[in-house]
Chains A and B, each alone.
Chain A
């Protein structure tokens, strides 16, 4: 749901690189080059960021909209 803190295989901290990685890739940069510049060299750590899908923002929407008039009826 949210980025893992560490690489599953080697234990390198990769959680702090996700936001930077995601922002730069969405801006159109080459993911491989972004990973190189972030110092993520091993392929175990690279797949952690490359393969990650951040779902927490989608789940959070249900909680953000809770008090809004549009959804109030549905919740009640």
Chain B
């Protein structure tokens, strides 16, 4: 397996991976989306909220504000040894807000969140959270925790994480293609030993001259099945290259756990331990305070004391 970084800036990394199949590429992608943890606010205690944005709506908005994450000094709450409901200094970071509008209307921004630990702070300070009319106030204490995207989307470190195949195409007019490529840049396509390697197909086809030199069908016909271009866009919680590194680390960890279990023949116990959920009288769920009598065909009667 070989990797090569095509481009990297503060929020996006694009890199090539070759010598792996689509299943591996997808498991890497899914690890980045759903497993790599970042910090976001999970619990909020309001002391005052007289704004027109209700408590739960404001809490939801604050949860979606990405926070810069220090993965080295914090652990996931479920892996922490404190077992406290609100966590300990190892598994949570506090943020507070205390803002009141006096004479003018005030917009409350994510930058008004005051972090307890400066390394866990809002990525962007300009996200409007609420607006306060004169006399209104917001005061709360918030607790941020590490979490994973599979639990809630606010904990996903990426806003885009995709991969696509790279294509190899034979070119007829090498000189003309080369001239066009010089203008488009070598992160779109390169010529390697007389063969055109299209790295970013959409980027390549955005150029009209490139599009005329190489037909779309030729590119689709020349897709290489074991080489991928990954594009990872971070929400800002972690640098994009760190997300990829963490994903690889986590995937390795998971695979070695699985390997250890297979070698120790430890799989059967876990399957035996798996219990089916208790099914209550043939119904998978019950509604509200009482069960409904489904035999009546639409005439739903609550089963109280009088219905025996």
A-to-B contact residues, CB < 8 Å: 1-3, 5-7, 10-13, 15-16, 18-19, 42, 56-57, 59-60, 63-64, 66-67
A15 to B61, CA, bound (A): 10
Among A42, A60, A63: residue with most chain B CB under 10 A = A63
Q: Tell me whether A63 and B127 are in contact (CB under 8 A).
A: no
Q: Tell me whether B64 and A64 are in contact (CB under 8 A).
A: no
A48 to chain B, nearest CB (A): 12
Q: Which of B52, B129, B235 contacts A12 (CB 8 A)?
A: B235
What total of chain B residues lie within 8 Å of the partner, measured CB to CB? 29
List chain B residues, Cβ under 8 A from A10.
159-160
B184 to chain A, nearest CB (A): 18
Q: What is the count of residue pairs linking A and B with beta-carbon distances less than 8 angstroms?
A: 69
Q: Which residue of B lies closest to A14 (CB)?
A: B127
Whether B194 is near chain A, meaning CB under 8 Å from some CB there, is no
Q: Which of B53, B66, B129, B135 contacts A13 (CB 8 A)?
A: B66
Q: Tell me whether A2 and B53 are in contact (CB under 8 A).
A: yes
Q: Tell me whether A2 and B128 are in contact (CB under 8 A).
A: yes
List chain A residues, Cβ under 8 A from B134.
64, 67
13 A-B pairs (CB sep. < 8 Å): A2-B128, A2-B129, A2-B130, A5-B61, A5-B127, A6-B64, A11-B153, A11-B158, A15-B124, A56-B53, A60-B52, A60-B131, A66-B135
